[in-house]
Structure 1
């Protein structure tokens, strides 16, 4: 719209606000229906907050006002709301990159390594789009490279990638330097604490899905129904699609777009 009218996007948003024009409409759900749907999308996961719940509703095509979701969470999960309120929010450091595909962050999550599950993830630093989030039964360089190549084929090749010194990142590092050039920081390798975008994403991965499996497997192990390292387990596909839910603003975005839209829109305008 902005391009067609020859004005900036901020002008469009300002005019829409000035004339009280709202794009899209909210679902006309009763409180009872909203509560029932929230119970379905949250399940037994007490770590899902109001924003995460709202994103899961959006993934079902249900658009609800933020305050209504917060009120519903108070009714549906009062204990969880109270527990989350005890954890103070961390102040984030300033992060700046040129735009989408300027810098990707890759890392592996080992919270479920006891049960032979490793989650490999990669996030675009600008749009906060999780370009891949994959549960695997190994931590091989070939596995990380396969995920990276698929993501690059779908979203485009990044200019640079930040990752730690783990050997599992060796193949991606080599590919980046061959494709983008040596001596320009094509593959930035260092300590995980400097990989802030993906480290922050792991918090949402834990709250959104990993904690549920960790609790489940620990319970089964305590009942001697499951032996650690005895069997290779895979996350079910319907739960792995949490990667899509995680994109819908679980990592706070300064725009009202979900990361897919933000990534594509900014990339097209570059």
Structure 2
């Protein structure tokens, strides 16, 4: 019984860190993990784990520094809602209103550009085929049991794989996609680009092993 409670708390803690609402957390627990709990039980778990959206706000300067870093990268193309989610995912507790006001101060040109729907295009450089593969998951359909994972070659824009399954959180599943892609292409990339999620630990180990064994990026 204790293991089940700990497992539920672990999942709640994970989905809370992802920035999901309480309604979304309940849906994920039900459809992905077959764990049906009430909204009241979820609130008790959040309280026990001391997970609050409107308490323990992060230091103002930490939020400012994080937003500045994001603006220099992909954040310059995103609105305040997306930036607020990024803050939550990086363990920063801040309100959407504060994020919106800070973006006005830190990047007024970017805010005005987004309002006019004239996005600034970043320059992208890639040395050649199989130099860099981009791997990512699409989680919007997870509550419905559809987990999408894909990989694209950055140079040619060739899709290495695009798979839909019952999970995109299992490292072995993502590792299987990666191995299938290597077999199809006949080689592995020089570099992989993906987020720091645990689902990517397997492909990280495979990539390192291939480089150690062969010393070159193509098999």
Give the TM-score band, short-chain normalised: 0.3 to 0.5
Q: Which has the higher contact order (CA 8 A, sep 6+)?
A: 1
Give me the TM-score of the superposition, normalised by structure 2.
Answer: 0.41
Give me the TM-score of the superposition, normalised by structure 1.
Answer: 0.35
